[in-house]
C-alpha cells in the first residue's frame, strides 16, 4: 500500500473514531489518535529513510491533518452550545441556556366494547370500535426556569363526560410561575384540584377509564387562577374559577358562568413513598411502599334562577405495596336547590395485583345514590379486568368486564365515559366487555 493511501486510511479512521466518541471524552480520544498517527508516520520514516517524504506527500499530510483539526473544532463548538433535542418522557427541544424549552406528548386510546342490556326493547346489544381519546400536549419553560406553560388539545374524545359533549376541545391552556419556597401560581385553564382519582392522567389509569362515581362528583376543568404549595410530605392547591366545569367559554352577559363563581381546593399528606409514584394509579413490582391520603372541597355560587349553590367534599386514600395497590374514595354533595335540596353521595373501591412483571389483575366496585325519588336513583357496579403492560403506561392493553346491579337511568350521563347505556324502563342487569389499547408518550 502507498504511503498516501496509508496516511489517508489512518486519518479516515481517526475521523470515524472521533465521530463515534463525540461526547465528554472527545478531546482525550482525539489527542490519542493524533499521537497514534504521529507514531505511524515516524515508523514509516525509519523504514524508508530520508526519501520517505516528498513535497507532494508532505502537502497531502498537511491537508489531512488540517481537515481532522477543523472537524474536531466543529464538534467541540456544537458540544459547547448546550442546545438539545431528543426524548425524555416526551419529544423535547431546548435552548442552550435552558430558559426556553418545549416537550411534546401524545395520548392515543382505541377501545372496542360489547354491551348487553336485557329485556325486550330494541337495540339491546351494541358493539364496535371507537377512538376514545386523541390528545396532543405541549409544555416546557419560557423566560427562565421559573416560568412554565402547558397547552393540550383533544382532537377526538368519544362519549365526552369531561367537556360537556364538546369535541374537539381545548383542555389545558395555562402558564405557571414558581414563586419559590414550594409556592407556585397558575393562570389559565386547568384541571381543578379536588378528586384524587381524577388527578391521575387518563393515560396512567388502572382501568380503561375513570370510575362513574368520580365522573359524577369530580370537578373537571375551570378557568381562573390557582395557588399551589408542595413540601416533602404535604401539598395543597386552591383555585378561584368562573365555574366548576368550564372550558374555553366566551365572554358575554349571556354566558353561563358570567353570573357565577366557584372555589375548589385539595390537600394531600404523603405518609410513605415519593410523590412521583402517585402520578399513576398502579404500583409496579419493585416500587417502594407508598401511602397517600387526601381530601378536597368545592363551592359554586349561582345567581341563576332555578340553579342552586353546590358544596361538595371528598376524602380518599391510596396505598402502594410494590406490586399491588388499593384506593378508596368517598364523595358527598349539598345541592341547595329550592325545589329538591338533594344530597347525593357515592364511593368507589378499587385495587390491583401484579401476577408477573407486566400483567396485572384489577377489580373495582362503585356505589352511588342521587338522593332523588326516581326509581333509577342508585348506582351499583362491579368491574373486573386485567392489564398487559407492554412498556408500562407508554403502551398497554386493558381488558374489563362490568356488571350493573341496578337499572341505569339517572347515572347514564356520568356512566357514558365507561360505555354504559341507559336501560329501558324496568330493566337491569346490564353488562359489558371492553378491550382498549392505550399509548402515552
Q: Any idea what the CATH number is for the domain that residue 395 is in?
A: 2.40.160.10
Burial of residue 225 (number of CB atoms within 10 Å: 0-12, 13-18, 19+): middle
> What integer pLDDT is reported at residue 15 of this predicted model?
40
Which phi and psi (to 5°) does residue 424 adopt? -70, 160
Residues 76 and 126 occupy one common structural domain: no
Are 389 and 396 contacting, i.e. CB atoms less than 8 angstroms apart? yes
The rounded distance, in Å, linking the Cα atoms of 126 and 370 is 27
> What integer pLDDT is reported at residue 305 of this predicted model?
57
Residue 38 corresponds to which cell in the numbers above? Answer: 504521529
> What integer pLDDT is reported at residue 374 of this predicted model?
63
Residues 56 and 89 occupy one common structural domain: no
> What integer pLDDT is reported at residue 259 of this predicted model?
47
Eight-state DSSP code of residue 287: P
The rounded distance, in Å, linking the Cα atoms of 349 and 420 is 19
371: left (phi over 0), alpha (psi -120 to 50) or beta: left
Residues 208 and 188 occupy one common structural domain: yes
Low-confidence ranges of the chain (pLDDT < 70): 1-31, 44-60, 68-83, 119-123, 156-167, 249-259, 303-308, 337-341, 373-376
Which phi and psi (to 5°) does residue 107 adopt? -120, 125
Residue at which a domain ends, from 81, 116, 143: 81
The rounded distance, in Å, linking the Cα atoms of 160 and 195 is 18
Residue at which a domain ends, from 62, 81, 100: 81
Gap between the terminal Cα atoms of the chain: 53
Residue keyed to cell 369530580: 218
Residues 103 and 225 occupy one common structural domain: yes
Strand, coil or helix: what is 25? coil
The rounded distance, in Å, linking the Cα atoms of 71 and 430 is 70
Eight-state DSSP code of residue 203: G
> What integer pLDDT is reported at residue 405 of this predicted model?
93
Residues 70 and 145 occupy one common structural domain: no
Residue range(s) defining the domain that contains residue 22:
3-81
To 10 degrees, the CA torsion angle through 110, 418, 221, 391? -40
pTM of full prediction above 0.85: no
Counting the structural domains of the chain, the total is 2
The rounded distance, in Å, linking the Cα atoms of 51 and 252 is 93
The rounded distance, in Å, linking the Cα atoms of 288 and 303 is 49
Residue at which a domain ends, from 81, 98, 118: 81
Residue keyed to cell 496516511: 7
- Residues pairing with 240 in the sheet: 225, 263
> What integer pLDDT is reported at residue 209 of this predicted model?
95
Distance of CA 326 to the CA centre of its chain: 21
Residues 36 and 105 occupy one common structural domain: no
Residues 73 and 153 occupy one common structural domain: no
Residues 298 and 386 occupy one common structural domain: yes
> What integer pLDDT is reported at residue 13 of this predicted model?
45
Residues 409 and 280 occupy one common structural domain: yes
> What integer pLDDT is reported at residue 84 of this predicted model?
82
Residues 54 and 200 occupy one common structural domain: no
Amino acid at each position: 500500500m502507498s504511503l498516501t493511501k496509508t496516511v489517508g486510511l489512518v486519518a479516515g479512521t481517526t475521523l470515524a473514531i472521533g465521530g463515534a466518541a463525540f461526547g465528554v471524552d472527545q478531546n482525550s480520544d482525539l489527542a490519542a489518535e493524533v499521537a497514534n498517527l504521529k507514531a505511524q508516520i515516524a515508523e514509516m520514516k525509519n523504514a524508508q529513510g530520508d526519501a520517505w517524504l516528498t513535497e507532494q506527500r508532505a502537502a497531502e499530510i498537511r491537508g489531512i491533518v488540517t481537515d481532522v483539526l477543523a472537524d474536531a473544532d466543529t464538534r467541540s463548538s456544537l458540544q459547547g452550545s448546550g442546545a438539545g433535542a431528543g426524548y425524555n418522557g416526551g419529544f423535547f427541544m431546548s435552548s442552550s441556556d435552558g430558559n426556553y424549552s418545549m416537550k411534546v406528548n401524545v395520548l392515543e386510546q382505541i377501545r372496542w366494547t360489547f354491551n348487553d342490556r336485557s329485556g325486550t326493547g330494541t337495540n339491546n346489544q351494541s358493539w364496535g370500535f371507537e377512538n376514545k381519546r386523541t390528545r396532543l400536549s405541549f409544555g416546557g419553560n419560557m423566560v427562565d426556569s421559573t416560568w412554565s406553560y402547558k397547552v393540550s388539545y383533544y382532537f377526538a374524545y368519544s362519549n365526552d363526560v369531561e367537556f360537556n359533549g364538546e369535541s374537539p376541545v381545548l383542555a389545558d391552556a395555562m402558564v405557571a410561575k414558581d414563586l419559590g419556597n414550594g409556592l407556585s401560581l397558575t393562570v389559565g385553564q386547568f384541571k381543578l384540584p379536588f378528586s384524587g382519582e381524577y388527578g391521575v392522567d387518563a393515560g396512567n389509569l388502572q382501568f380503561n377509564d375513570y370510575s362513574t362515581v368520580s365522573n359524577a362528583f369530580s370537578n373537571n376543568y375551570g378557568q381562573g387562577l390557582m395557588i399551589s404549595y408542595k413540601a416533602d410530605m404535604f401539598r395543597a392547591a386552591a383555585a378561584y374559577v368562573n365555574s366548576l366545569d368550564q372550558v374555553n367559554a366566551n365572554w358575554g352577559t349571556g354566558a353561563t358562568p358570567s353570573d357565577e363563581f366557584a372555589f375548589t381546593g385539595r390537600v394531600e399528606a404523603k405518609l410513605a413513598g415519593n410523590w412521583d409514584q402517585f402520578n399513576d394509579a398502579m404500583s409496579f413490582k419493585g416500587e417502594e411502599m407508598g401511602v397517600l391520603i387526601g381530601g378536597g372541597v368545592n363551592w359554586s355560587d349561582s345567581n341563576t334562577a332555578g340553579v342552586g349553590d353546590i358544596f361538595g367534599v371528598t376524602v380518599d386514600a391510596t396505598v402502594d405495596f410494590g406490586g399491588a395497590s388499593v384506593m378508596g374514595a368517598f364523595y358527598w354533595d349539598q345541592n341547595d336547590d329550592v325545589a329538591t335540596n338533594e344530597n347525593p353521595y357515592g364511593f368507589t373501591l378499587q385495587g390491583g395485583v401484579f401476577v408477573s412483571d407486566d400483567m396485572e389483575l384489577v377489580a373495582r366496585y362503585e356505589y352511588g345514590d342521587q338522593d332523588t325519588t326516581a326509581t333509577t336513583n342508585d348506582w351499583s357496579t362491579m368491574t373486573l379486568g386485567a392489564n398487559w403492560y407492554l412498556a408500562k403506561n407508554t403502551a398497554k392493553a386493558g381488558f374489563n368486564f362490568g356488571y350493573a346491579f341496578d337499572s341505569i337511568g339517572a347515572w347514564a350521563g356520568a356512566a357514558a365515559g365507561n360505555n354504559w347505556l341507559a336501560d329501558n324502563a324496568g330493566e337491569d342487569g346490564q353488562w359489558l366487555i371492553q378491550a382498549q389499547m392505550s399509548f402515552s408518550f
